Structure 1
Amino acid sequence: MLRAARRGDDRVWTARVGDPHLRWSGGGDASLSDVGSEVDSPGGQFTLDLDLAAGQRHDLVLELGEWPMWDDSLPVPSDTWARTERAWSDAVPDLDDTVAAHDARQAYAVLRGMTSADGGMVAAATTSLPERSEAGRNYDYRYAWIRDQCFAGQAVAAAGQHPLLDEAVRFVGARLHEDGPKLKPAYTVDGGPVPDQRTLELPGCPGGFDRLDRDGRQAAEIAVAAIAARWNEPDAGIWELDDWAWTHSRLICAAGLRRIVAVATDAAREREWTELADTILAHTTAHALHPEGHWQRALDEPGLDAALLLPAVRGLLPADDPRTRATLHAYGAQLTGDHYAYRFRHDERPLEEAEGAFLLCGFVMAPAEHHQGREVEAHRWFERDRDACGAAGLYSEEYDIAQRQLGGNLPQACVHALMPDTAATLARTPGPPS
């Protein structure tokens, strides 16, 4: 509610809206209705009628902040627009080397806006928006997930080296220095601990070049040491479920080890990290390869999971490896429909009744098909997912194909990260299977 609203001799309105103050210029002819008689009593609303001819413009400038927040000079709208455009041009790269540069820039801009000054990127800007109506427990995604920071860093690396990559590396590296092998799945955006869960009385609603500095290299070595000590322990997996021997967790560690070998500082570390990757891969192959030749969800869970496509996409195995091809074929046959992809099968219900299609999974299918050299199919997956957004171009976690609507909190950082990552990948010609 407006309080203490006044129009000055310069025809500029000032008022309070709770604690913040506002100044509104360009609306000098507005009227204010339902204002209380007391100076500090709450007021109603501004009303302004404008009659503009074709091509004519009229600038309205609203400033919000703590008092005193401004001097006597008023902002010049054209100058403010120019500064804003320059700032965004500096912050968001052109991404012209992607197959959908406009949408990739949009996704990058969303990620930029969701990243704090400390480098922590919130998983989504909202809280408690349900993935399914009447589903019960909802989630607060206004925290920084290490998983999503990695997705964002990999996306920016795929599209070119930009400051957002450095911030992701800096944030994750700092957490590794602080917590080492006890790295947590999520933190506050300034690196603090996530508070415990609590019940609220609210209803809700229905690739790249090495950019590691000294601290970054030390953080990578801390991560390698943590993998060496803990890779065989149960964990909650990429989807944060019950602790289990998840196959993806082991394979993605091996994939990361093979990539980090490229920046090893000496031959001994290169051998050590390569041997560790080989050990993890051999053990997982012996215990988590389905009799039909594809990876299975966990050592004692024979089902499929979209996450099993990621290690090959991240370079663990070549495109023509039988395990890679069998996993992609089985996943496509069992967990996708009409070019919508799902994480895993919950029960005997049809996939779309158990949960919405996961947009992240669709954006993984595209590079997985690209990896195999099937470019038409890769672009089909990309375009299907690219279209599953709202009018503002924002993606949520899930897409309900029955109701044709987004589900869950938004904008979902990991999906916005995979979008430009995939766009950059599809712009490159896939090499022959190695």
Structure 2
Amino acid sequence: MAADRVDMRLAGNLHVRLAGTPDAGTDDAALRTGVRLEPGGRHHDLVLEVSDRRLPAPTPADVLWRATEQTWRASAPDLANTIGQRDARHAHAVLSGLTGPAGGTVAAATTSLPERAEQGRNYDYRYVWIRDQAYIGQGVAAAGAHPLLDDSVRFVTARLLEHGPALAPACTTTGAAVPQQRTLDLAGYPGGFDIVGNKVRHQFQLDIFGESLLLLAAAARHDRLDADAWRAATAAADAIAARHREADAGIWELHDDRWAHSRLICAAGLRAIAAQAPSSSGGKAARWEALADRLVDETSADCLHPTGRWQRSPTLEGVDAALLMPAVRGALPADDPRTTATLHAVRTGLVQDHYVYRFRHDGRPLEDTEGAFLLCGFAMALATHQQGNEVDAVRWFERNRAACGPPGLFAEEFDVAQRQLRGNLPQAFVHALLLEAAATLAHPRGLSAGR
């Protein structure tokens, strides 16, 4: 292979080596080579290496392939206690690949893949969302005390201790602020345009504190919390106590409102962490439970629809698939009438062919406004399983895990009519909920009347 390689230097003192390149040459600063493969399944390895320092002696491609395969096998747990084991392990591998050295997992590896062509719905998701990080940790925790759980706890703990009630909904993988959103002078993906940064940096999202508590409680159940993490839990609970009456942008990052989901998921987080609080916590568990009760009561006072289900906010009477999650997470019992009425409303109003949409934007058919949200499909599987309907829960799981591309990667949305993925990929929170559902649905569960 040594004779079939080209070494180059690029701007910024980068060292580049392309190996396995017969007859390669440069022309006007471009590297050109050609490889001809005969029919019948023949293949040829090309190895591209880029480094900011001098490259060591080249390693044969077959050695690199074996080392890569062995490393991934060693890093992905067996997950034999899940359904869809292959896809569960794949989801874990995807999440591992999206995770940086500090433990933060980017929401997606791409930017600007449009959710709707020519409609300006292009986003940059190459940052760490606190909510998504909590989903990832909880998904991993459902399958066992694996290192990715510790990564999520480490990253969220650091952010809570650093920022407290001023915690931003998202940050970079190093914990810095997300850059201002701007467009680039590039054509981008067909039907879209390239964009860098995200407007989330200017938002307040109350639910991230509840999700953080749910993550920390899940880790505590595996005995994975240290003193710093418990201090972070106290900071998150204090932030809820201080800010729960403020309007926020909510899980879908819309206009500021008193979103029912934000308050109920905070109640779930408070209950979860209270259940894990040590006896030496000085009465914190009782205070957290009392605050959770108050949040549920206040939300019932202004977000309970006349039909008995949860509505989106005091001013928006529609149903929202995000409202499946508070009961799944323990904000109120599975057999509470508000839980079952909300589940029925989502099933009858936001579902098409076993795919689930977030909410109705207007009077148009659901598929005319956006794609189905795969996150919501796996949430439906969890909610159905919580009700004791195990066969139906698996049906939701199987339908939604089929909505991926050939590499087994999921985007945020799935266009049911055109059978196409929409938006950036791989979308971390979809893989996280797939993993959680795969672990949870593997265990029979009767209807739980408790929290």
Q: How high is the TM-score relative to the length of structure 2?
A: 0.87
Taking only aligned residues, the RMSD between alpha carbons, in angstroms, comes to 2.1
Q: Offset at 1:60?
A: 5.0
Q: Which residue is equivalent to 1:313?
A: 328
Relative to structure 2, which stretch is displaced further, 98-107 or 87-96? Answer: 87-96
- From the superposition, tell whether residues 349 and 78 of structure 1 become closer, same or farther in structure 2 (CA, over 3 Å): same
Letter paired with 2:224: R
**How many residues are treated as equivalent by the alignment?**
416
- From the superposition, tell whether residues 26 and 200 of structure 1 become closer, same or farther in structure 2 (CA, over 3 Å): closer
Letter paired with 1:151: Y
Give the percent of matched residue pairs that are identical in Structure 1 and Structure 2.
55
1:13 pairs with one of 5, 17, 40? 5
Q: Which residue is equivalent to 2:169?
A: 185
Counterparts of residues 46-195 of structure 1 (less than 5 Å):
46-49=33-36, 60-71=46-57, 74-195=58-179
Question: In 2, Cα distance between the equivalents of 1:97 and 1:234?
Answer: 41
Question: In 1, Cα distance between the equivalents of 2:182 and 2:63?
Answer: 46
Q: Does 1:45 align with 2:32?
A: yes
Question: In 2, Cα distance between the equivalents of 1:76 and 1:409?
Answer: 34
Q: Which residue is equivalent to 1:263?
A: 276
- Give yes or no for contact 1:97–1:424 (8 Å, CA) kept in 2: yes
Letter paired with 2:50: L
Question: In 2, Cα distance between the equivalents of 1:53 and 1:421?
Answer: 41
Q: Offset at 1:53?
A: 9.0
SS of 1:47 mapped into structure 2: coil
Q: Which residue is equivalent to 1:202?
A: 186
- Give yes or no for contact 1:363–1:381 (8 Å, CA) kept in 2: yes
- From the superposition, tell whether residues 76 and 47 of structure 1 become closer, same or farther in structure 2 (CA, over 3 Å): closer
- 1:272-311 per-residue CA deviation (whole Å, 9 max, x = no partner) reads 1111111111111222111111111012221110110001
- From the superposition, tell whether residues 67 and 334 of structure 1 become closer, same or farther in structure 2 (CA, over 3 Å): same
Q: Which residue is equivalent to 2:213?
A: none
Question: In 2, Cα distance between the equivalents of 1:356 and 1:57?
Answer: 38
Question: In 2, Cα distance between the equivalents of 1:384 and 1:409?
Answer: 21
The answer for unaligned runs of 5 or more in structure 1 is 1-6
Question: In 1, Cα distance between the equivalents of 2:373 and 2:382?
Answer: 16
Letter paired with 2:157: G
> Which structure's CA Rg is the greater one?
1
Q: Offset at 1:409?
A: 0.7
- Give yes or no for contact 1:130–1:204 (8 Å, CA) kept in 2: no
Q: Offset at 1:118?
A: 1.0
- From the superposition, tell whether residues 44 and 203 of structure 1 become closer, same or farther in structure 2 (CA, over 3 Å): closer
Q: How high is the TM-score relative to the length of structure 1?
A: 0.91
Question: In 2, Cα distance between the equivalents of 1:342 and 1:25?
Answer: 47
- Give yes or no for contact 1:31–1:48 (8 Å, CA) kept in 2: no
Q: Which residue is equivalent to 2:196?
A: none
Question: In 2, Cα distance between the equivalents of 1:289 and 1:50?
Answer: 65
Q: Offset at 1:86?
A: 3.1
Q: Which residue is equivalent to 1:274?
A: 289
Question: In 2, Cα distance between the equivalents of 1:433 and 1:297?
Answer: 25
